Structure 1
Amino acid sequence: MSPHLPEEDNPYRSTDDAHPQPASLKTKFIRTGLLIAVLMLIVVPLLMPAVRSARPAAYRNQCINNVKQLNLAILGYESKHGELPPAYSVDEQGNPLHSWRTLILPYLAGETVSEKIDLTKPWDHETNAIARRTTLYEYKCPMDAVDDNYTSYVAVTGAECVFNGSTPCKLSEITDGSSSTLLLVELTGSQIEWMEPRDITLKELLAITEESEANHHGVFIVGYVDGHSELIEVDIDHEVLRAMATKAGGEKLGE
């Protein structure tokens, strides 16, 4: 028979049995991970409504900022040339070449794109193909589902409006007030490429409130000659909208 040895001196006794070790780090990590997973299952569903509501608001704010930037670029063009840009430039035969959106690029964050454009050639000429395919997010509402080379922002064109074909407008011609006369409007699903010399007429503007679905739940964004932008209701009164779109109609808005 072997002599009796104290437990601590017994060479055959497992040291693990003699001194039980705490749970391993791996076990702790597993337990922590399970706890986090449970918390996520509880907390995330509670946060989702807030996330869903915050995203459209952020997109709307981005859209408002886009219109502000375009307003300022148009005014930058006016400061340099002494007149607002025409709705489009033309060749010697009077054929449209380039949109105002192309003409204001040097005053927007698009200087490098502007350098790639030959203004003497039509917007869709192969010479301008690279620029035409370039995405400029300043021209697109993040809520708009159109392709990236299409624009969400258009001018209202016509003899009564700030933009009238190839004829530029001077600020002195806008007698209805710069803070109440439209420069730009947001148009959902326009199918107009940002370089394309095409916008909408006053008649088409009024139809927006009847046929188009707005990006921003019942409102769309407009920009004014003084540079500010705002949201207006899709169901705005047509006479009010017409007055906003004309530059010298003599209407007194807000009265």
Structure 2
Amino acid sequence: MRAAAKKSPSSSVMRIILIVLVVVFLLGVTVSYLWVQPYLKMSKSVDHLKRIILFVHNHEDKYHALPNGYPAGAKHRFSWRVQLLPFMGAQGKSLFDRFHFDEPWDSPHNLKVAKQMPDIYRTPFAPEDSIHTSFVAIADPQGAFPEPETPEHRLSFNSIVDGTGQTVGIVHCEGTGIVWTEPRDINIDEFVQLAKTGRLNPPSKGYAPMVVRVAMMDGSVAPVLRDVSEETLRAICTREGHEARPKDFK
């Protein structure tokens, strides 16, 4: 009988090395994926910001006024987000036409329609079935989107005395708990809290970025670092505070 062939020690070593290399490669791919994912998600969120502020510009171009939550003929106030639907193509216009503007935003019918939130108001950080918006405006009396005293009370770009490039319009914020059709956003105090901590107060749930992204009223998107002073944060939220361009915000 022939003696069984002995395995070469070198072949066993090569097999072990190959297995180790494969494991290291797979770990590297996994780590890279996990590291890159938040950046890819944030990139998409920034794209949504740019598109939303573009729709705001389209609204102002057509009506010579910024959206104030009162679509033409509406008896009740909705969100400015609803007013932008007609500028989102046929699908947005179709969704807009399904709302009953003679009813409150939270009527049974309108809440049913609200379940079809456009993806543009949701980011990859939010659940896919969420109807809570990830984008809010500065709805402060001194901001670009103040709560209107009457349906006829509307601002325009001419109302932004400080300049559209120096005034915050739309803010990316996760875990707002705000239904996208709801006529509710954040005030300046809440924006300061968000910029300093990544969350609203009381603490919002979900992703808390180290850098909050905002869309300025001129259409640009800017990062707000946490070391920006509170004075600056308040200055960039007002439309006619007559402040000089803050040095710690570029």
TM over 0.5: yes
Structure with higher Rg: it is 1
- Report the residue type matching 1:184 in the other structure: I
CA distance 1:238–1:73, change in 2 (3 Å): same
Matched-pair contact (CA < 8 Å) for 1:91–1:97: no
Is 2:219 the partner of 1:227?
Answer: yes
Mapping of residues 60-209 of structure 1, within 5 Å: 60-86=42-68, 88-89=69-70, 96-109=76-89, 110-144=92-126, 148-166=130-148, 167-209=153-195
Shift of 1:231: 1.8
> Residues 56-102 of structure 1, C-alpha deviation per residue, up to 9 Å, x if partnerless?
1110100000011100011111111111111x22999x985210000
Shift of 1:41: 3.1
Q: Which runs of 5+ in 2 are unaligned?
A: 1-17, 200-205
Q: Greater share of strand residues, 1 or 2?
A: 1
- Report the residue type matching 2:105 in the other structure: W
Q: Secondary structure of the equivalent of 1:250?
A: coil
Distance 2:160 2:48 in 1: 23
CA distance 1:95–1:241, change in 2 (3 Å): farther
Matched-pair contact (CA < 8 Å) for 2:143–2:237: yes
Corresponding pairs, count: 219
Once the two structures are overlaid, the 10-residue window that deviates more, 189-198 or 41-50, is 41-50
CA distance 1:145–1:252, change in 2 (3 Å): farther
Counterpart for residue 41 of structure 1:
23
CA RMSD of superposed structures (Å): 2.7
> Residues 154-206 of structure 1, C-alpha deviation per residue, up to 9 Å, x if partnerless?
11112211111123211111111111111111222100010111111112212
- Report the residue type matching 2:232 in the other structure: V
Matched-pair contact (CA < 8 Å) for 2:188–2:234: yes
Shift of 1:212: 4.3
- Report the residue type matching 2:155 in the other structure: C
Once the two structures are overlaid, the 10-residue window that deviates more, 55-64 or 227-236, is 227-236
Distance 2:127 2:197 in 1: 17
Q: Which runs of 5+ in 1 are unaligned?
A: 1-35
TM normalised by structure 2 equals 0.78
CA distance 1:217–1:156, change in 2 (3 Å): closer
Counterpart for residue 23 of structure 1:
none
TM normalised by structure 1 equals 0.77
